[in-house]
Amino acid sequence: MKLLVVEDDPTLLDFICQGFREQGYTVNGLSDGHEALLLAKDQPHDAAIIDLMLPGLDGLSLIRELRASGHNLPILILSARHTVNDRVLGLETGSDDYLTKPFSFIELQARVQALLRRRTDSQSNTQISTSLQLADLTLDRISKKVTRGETLITLQPRELSLLEYLLENPGKVLSKTMILEQVWDYQFDPQTNVVDVLVCRLRSKIDKDFSPKLLHTLRGIGYVLKAED
């Protein structure tokens, strides 16, 4: 496995890189955001660990650039910024997980392994079933094409992940915590509205102009995807 680590503290950068190399990973460690972007575009990596406070190009901008250029590698933000808003912004920008400093290397390693495992499982599931459908709503897992009847629907990556999770569990009530763990690979304050916002965005695209309604809210419990009775 090949990791990209972007951290401007040289001592911490060496610590992280050495720790993963001892676990058998190939690691590219950089301290500059622009250099990291060029390297990521030039060489494939299996996952990335990115600090937010970087010279040249800050971490959030780096993640945006990577996502905009089509890179779908798992990204973990490692930052001293620890508020809920910081975490939500990082996750909404395109990261898959968020770990605050100070941190335990054992936890960092476990989180990276979880991201890599989830990516492998997702690829395996795609080989088993390339299409998911409920009523006239269809998701092609290979092309990422979503349609409702004859209408093509454009979804952002996080919206697409949520829809895929819902379609994998039709008729099953999914709590906020379940969605956070599946879509973001992260557990944080269940009172945050990040899930509500994402569900609202998805509903506006797959349900607003269609019938029957498929995405339902069970107040205080969670969400369920099913054809309206």
What's the fold here for domain 2-125?
Rossmann fold (3.40.50)
Q: Where in the chain is the domain with CATH 1.10.10.10?
A: 129-225
The structure's pTM equals 0.57
Q: Provide the pLDDT for residue 49.
A: 97
Backbone angles phi, psi at 100, to 5 degrees: -95, 150
The region that residue 178 occupies, defined by phi over 0 for left and psi between -120 and 50 for alpha, beta otherwise, is: alpha
What pLDDT sits at residue 144? 87
State the Cα–Cα distance between residues 89 and 91, nearest whole angstrom: 5
Assigned CATH for 129-225:
1.10.10.10
How much is the pLDDT for 229?
A: 54
Q: What is the pLDDT of residue 206?
A: 96
Q: What is the chain's pLDDT, residue by residue, as a tens digit (229 residues)?
A: 899 999 999 999 999 999 999 888 999 999 999 999 999 988 889 999 999 999 989 999 999 999 988 888 899 999 998 888 888 898 888 899 999 999 999 999 999 998 888 766 555 554 446 789 999 999 998 888 999 999 999 998 889 999 999 998 999 999 888 888 788 766 555 567 888 999 999 999 999 989 999 999 998 889 999 986 5
Provide the pLDDT for residue 152.
95
In order of 114, 164, 196, 198, 207, the CA distances from 126 in angstroms are 18, 11, 27, 23, 25
pLDDT at 31: 95
- Domain ranges in the chain with CATH number 3.40.50.2300: 2-125
Which pLDDT belongs to residue 70? 83
CA atoms within 13 A on the CB side of 213: 10
| Predicted local confidence at residue 200, as pLDDT | 94
